[in-house]
Amino acid sequence: MTEQDQTDQSASPAAHVAAANLAEPSRQRDPWDYPRHWIADVLASDGGVVHLRPIVPDDADRVVRFHGGLSERTRYMRYFGPTPTLPPRELARMTTVDYQKRVALVAVLGGDIIAIGLYEGLGFDGKPESAEVAFVVADDHQGRGLGPILLEHLAGAAAENGFTRFEAEVLSENPNMVAVFRDAGYQLSRNFDGSTVHVEFLIDPTEALLSVRNARERASEARSVANLLRPSSVAVIGASTDPKKVGNALLANIIAGGFTGPVFPVNGPGPEEPEADSDADALAPGHGHTRRSGRQHAHPRPPSVRGIRAYPTVRDVPDPVDLAVVAVPAAVVDDVLDDCLVKGVRTLVVVSSGFGESGAAGLQSERRLVEQAREHGMRLVGPNALGVANNSASIALNATLAPRIPAAGRVGFFCQSGALGIAILDTAARRQIGLSTFVSAGNRADVSGNDLLQYWDSDTDTDVVLLYLESFGNPRKFSRIARRVSRSKPIVAVKSGKGAMTAARAERSSAASLDDRIAQMVLEQAGVIQVHTISELFDCATLFAYQPLPRGPRTRIIGNSSVLGSLAGDTARGGGLTVTDTIDLGAGASEDEFESAVTGAMRDPAVDAVIVVFVPPVAVDADWHARALMAAANTPDADGPKPIVTTFLAVEGIPPGLMKPGHNGLPANGSIPSYGSPERAANALVRAWQYARWRQRPEPEIHRPDGTDPEGARMFVREAMGGDADAEATRALGPVESATLLRSYGIDVVPFAEVSTMHEAAAAAERFGFPVAVKATSASWRGRLDREGARLDLPDATAVITAFSELSQLTGDEVLHVQKMAPKGIGTMIRVRDDRSFGSLISFGLSGRTFELLGDHGYRATPLTPLDAEELIDEPRSAPLLAGYAGEPPVDRSALTDLLVRISTLVDDIPEVREVHCDPILASPDGAAVLNALIRIGPVPTRADTGPRRLA
């Protein structure tokens, strides 16, 4: 080190950076002006939260501390040498980037940098294509998957800036670094040069890459929920000796539930405040905004709560704490978070209220709470939550305010409302629906239903998923996850009234609700069983929890009341079941007759499900009917498993006589559910058949059509946006630009030309070949039902010139279109538009204002599989017109399917494509001809489920 270098080292790192910045030439972008959408909270592989953001010059001191904390081996692997300290110019170069050719991201936890990743463009004499990438992770945080996360986000930033390839130099003795690139899903090209390995790979997202990302996302989110639901120890912060207080109830429920780990009451750094006796701390999800000031006026802190030693703060607990249940006033939650960070708490359940549900000020407090929790690496349930429960014998956690929770079972339950959650839990207990786990997320500021779905997907204790939701925070992601989970486990969802699909929870008071019909279509696409009431929710849950799915729609009704049997049959047929026959045994049927009828249905290969209607006369003992039904249900030579539902004595749930006891004495698989009416029993069976039919479909695969050029399309869109992917406004592409973009995905608009004079019109017609059409271009004339805005089937140049003159004068359009005539067909339309709930929604229907006015369109979420596309074509009520209605030949469905899949692939590949409107598309036996297409591009409205994985 030179004398000058030694002098430089004596100054602060920030001072060196400032001096180096003065010496640097002016840059294209201010060093603090970075794209804000690059900021992200991400989950490490262990379920902990890490904050990711671009580096800024003010990070110099943090970078020096980070570098100084690295082991010698880690520094050697990163810098190919000892490098005990960073030279000032290297530090300045690292912390001052242009966010285009050079980008650096830092992973931050508790204010400290724990990982750094960067890329630097190579070969700037022409258009940038390749960039060198490198990253380093603090020794204490290696093995948490931070390398792949940094790589994902760097690749996303590089792609936005026009790079297509990453390169890296890795020491041969560092195979773990090469494994990071490979395990991320990239296809590597490697060259060995003595002591180093040169790695290259394309950063374009491929199906393999997206599959790996989704798998990592699934694992990390499931792990974060496991940290919440399977803690080794729990602290109750705000524990009170007053039985009227929330903290006391929480502690009592945890103890009474038999939690298998240690429980630590935390009752404040000193005495309770006088305000604690007010309604602000009543027995409800925590209220109040009291501060810890004025401690000198309070009473001494009790040394124990419910006979368990209490601690002033969670820091004072001598053992590790995994889960902290917080029941303190909202105003002092900040102090609790600081304590939890020092203690290393991994998850929080905040039952305190006074946050987003209380108004704008509370919402700001809630946002700060989430930011602080994530900065501390923690996941948060709540605030304003009812709590969480896990009935596993190895955990036995009831960290809720509910006085009664159901016994252990195989149903997972997620809801938002705390007050409603208590009633739901009580109803589940009365119906004997056993729960595996339960989460009431309250304001759902962090942990959401999507997180629970990721957990339940791989949870061996859960077979059925129940959701009661007021809204979906990220419905596009919900749809993606639900498609996968529904393949193995039924998801039953009830939404609380219209508009529950509104995306942004913060906007729920003012945002218009998504049309329920659209929501239903999208949920059905994902295999979700959507119901409208809590009663229906439990009706379905009872069947799914204890009976097999029907293999087909053929249903036999057996009973002792023809009237009730008729009601069951009408409901079953109305829901799509096929009632093969109805057997009326009469009120005086014997036990043998009853058992014989049900046994016959179980043996009959022409029967897929059985509805038993049983309302006995007053004088008859029903016990023998129950024995007969259970004996028949377990017929040894039955024709495969078949579901049985009944109206046994109008009991709701599992009557004692129809229960098949499990190892714990609770209902087990094979118990027969009973319903209060025949309609409800039939409805539950209808839902089961609809779900079974969805599962019987071949598992869809995302299909990428041949002849697509995503990179060319991406560059076209970027240039059309002025080269700035972070531009603010959307822009409508012209007809020629729209046709050019569609062509990159193998979609040809019927040839047309924009013309301004009659001579240009005639020349274009000659070029296309007659007959042609001349069309107006202004929105007020295009698509007019009276066809005044177009002249069709023009046979020669004279007719074209005449049409041009007439239309120019009639419409005032300075530019008209001359287009080659397409084969005659039925006008259809395809449209993709932004939806704040489901991202890009694709719709299909017949073209024309009449069909638009009637809302006769089908909807699906993107991306579409070919099967999705086929079902979408059949969705509109007018779809029979495409199948050869009234003797007309059917249209080419395969051409429409291919067109839908190509448009879906376009918008999924390039989220900057905000709207696609192809109208009309003439569908005929010979294909599908797109006559007109308009596309709108702009910045991605939300990156909640696009690009690198991140928490919403």
Residues of the chain with pLDDT > 90: what percent? 65
Q: Are the C-beta atoms of residues 82 and 72 closer than 8 Å to each other?
A: yes
Does the pLDDT value for residue 595 go beyond 60?
A: yes
| CATH of the structural domain 751-821, one choice from 3.30.750.24, 3.60.110.10, 3.30.1490.20, 3.65.10.10 | 3.30.1490.20
Per-position DSSP letters for 814-828, written without gaps between them: S-EEEEEPPPP-EEE
Give the tens place of pLDDT for each residue, 401-456. Answer: 998 899 999 999 999 887 788 888 999 999 999 999 999 999 999 999 999 999 99
**Distance separating alpha carbons of residues 123 and 103, to the nearest angstrom:** 16
| CATH of the structural domain 3-204, one choice from 3.40.30.10, 3.40.630.30, 1.10.275.10, 1.10.10.10 | 3.40.630.30
Kindly indicate the confidence band of residue 649, based on its pLDDT and cuts at 50, 70 and 90. confident
Q: How far is CA 25 from CA 22, 102, 865, in A?
A: 8, 15, 51
| Long-range own/partner contacts, residues 730-735 (CB < 8 A, 24 or more apart) | 730/914, 730/936, 730/937, 730/938, 730/939, 731/936, 731/937, 731/938, 732/934, 732/935, 732/936, 733/934, 733/935, 733/936, 733/937, 735/777, 735/817, 735/932, 735/933, 735/934
Q: How far is CA 192 from CA 104, 169, 200, 459, 592, in A?
A: 27, 10, 12, 43, 81
pLDDT (average), residues 902-929: 94
- Amino acid at site 801: I
Enumerate the domain spans of the chain.
3-204, 225-462, 547-696, 710-750+823-952, 751-821
**Distance separating alpha carbons of residues 662 and 654, to the nearest angstrom:** 13
Does the pLDDT value for residue 242 go beyond 90?
A: yes
pLDDT (average), residues 103-131: 87
Find the Cα–Cα–Cα–Cα dihedral 909, 915, 921, 923, rounded to 10°.
Answer: 50
Q: Are the C-beta atoms of residues 363 and 382 closer than 8 Å to each other?
A: no
Q: Are the C-beta atoms of residues 199 and 219 closer than 8 Å to each other?
A: no
Q: Are the C-beta atoms of residues 488 and 453 closer than 8 Å to each other?
A: no
Chain centroid offset of residue 169 CA: 36
Longest CA pairwise span in the chain (Å): 109
Does the pLDDT value for residue 294 go beyond 60?
A: no
Tokens of 591: 């036990």
Same fold, 3-204 and 547-696: no
Residues 6+ positions from 584 with CB-CB distance below 8 Å: 559, 560, 561, 562, 565
**Distance separating alpha carbons of residues 386 and 351, to the nearest angstrom:** 6
| CATH of the structural domain 547-696, one choice from 3.90.1010.10, 3.40.50.300, 3.30.2270.10, 3.40.50.261 | 3.40.50.261
Residues 6+ positions from 296 with CB-CB distance below 8 Å: none
Give the tens place of pLDDT for each residue, 699-753. Answer: 877 788 999 999 899 889 988 988 555 556 789 999 999 999 999 999 999 999 9
Q: What is the CATH number of domain 710-750+823-952?
A: 3.30.470.20
Kindly indicate the confidence band of residue 504, based on its pLDDT and cuts at 50, 70 and 90. very low
Tokens of 261: 């780990």
Q: How far is CA 638 from CA 3, 555, 604, 643, 661, in A?
A: 92, 15, 8, 12, 21
pLDDT (average), residues 370-388: 93
**Distance separating alpha carbons of residues 820 and 774, to the nearest angstrom:** 9
DSSP state of 359: -
Q: What is the CATH number of domain 225-462?
A: 3.40.50.720
**Distance separating alpha carbons of residues 806 and 132, to the nearest angstrom:** 61
| Long-range own/partner contacts, residues 892-896 (CB < 8 A, 24 or more apart) | 892/923, 892/924, 892/925, 892/926, 892/927, 892/928, 895/923, 895/927, 895/928, 896/828, 896/844, 896/869, 896/921, 896/923, 896/928
Residues 6+ positions from 933 with CB-CB distance below 8 Å: 735, 738, 739, 742, 747, 749, 916, 917, 918
Kindly indicate the confidence band of residue 783, based on its pLDDT and cuts at 50, 70 and 90. low
Our separate counts of H helices and E strands in the chain read 27, 37
